[in-house]
């Protein structure tokens, strides 16, 4: 993605560059086709980030937005890591 600033792990370094097209392209790199449920989770994550709230699997579980089993199904292979990358926000400290 030309002109989009990302770090070595593929996370945006400037959230102002994020839009749905960028998110869709990052999702494709992760072999994910975004659905309405994906967007609901992305909106939730961005809201938490804007409020400077720490993100964790436990927090997702308590969110009421999605259950953990569905979260893993939507974002296989590291749901919090992948979902935050698509959402354009920094990798949570809880992710390795």
Tens of pLDDT, residues 25-51: 999 999 999 999 999 999 999 999 999
Does residue 7 lie in a domain region? no
Residues forming the active site: 95
Number of domains, the chain? 1
Orientation angle between helical segments 36-50 and 79-87, nearest 10 degrees: 80
pTM across the whole model: 0.92
Does residue 52 lie in a domain region? yes
Question: 6: which DSSP letter?
Answer: B
Does residue 93 lie in a domain region? no
Does residue 70 lie in a domain region? yes
Tens of pLDDT, residues 1-30: 678 999 999 999 999 999 999 999 999 999
Distance, C-alpha 30 to centroid of its chain: 11
Q: Which domain holds residue 78?
A: 15-87
For residue 6, what are the β-bridge partners?
12
| Separation CA 63–CA 41 (nearest Å) | 10
């Amino acid at each position: 993605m030309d002109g989009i600033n990302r770090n070595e792990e593929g996370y945006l370094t400037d959230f102002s560059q994020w839009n749905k097209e960028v998110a869709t392209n990052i999702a494709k790199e992760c072999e994910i086709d975004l659905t309405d449920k994906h967007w609901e989770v992305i909106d939730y994550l961005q809201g938490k980030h804007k409020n400077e709230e720490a993100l964790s699997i436990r927090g997702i579980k308590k969110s009421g937005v999605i259950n953990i089993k569905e979260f893993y199904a939507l974002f296989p292979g590291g749901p919090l890591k992948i979902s935050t990358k698509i959402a354009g926000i920094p990798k949570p400290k809880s992710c390795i």
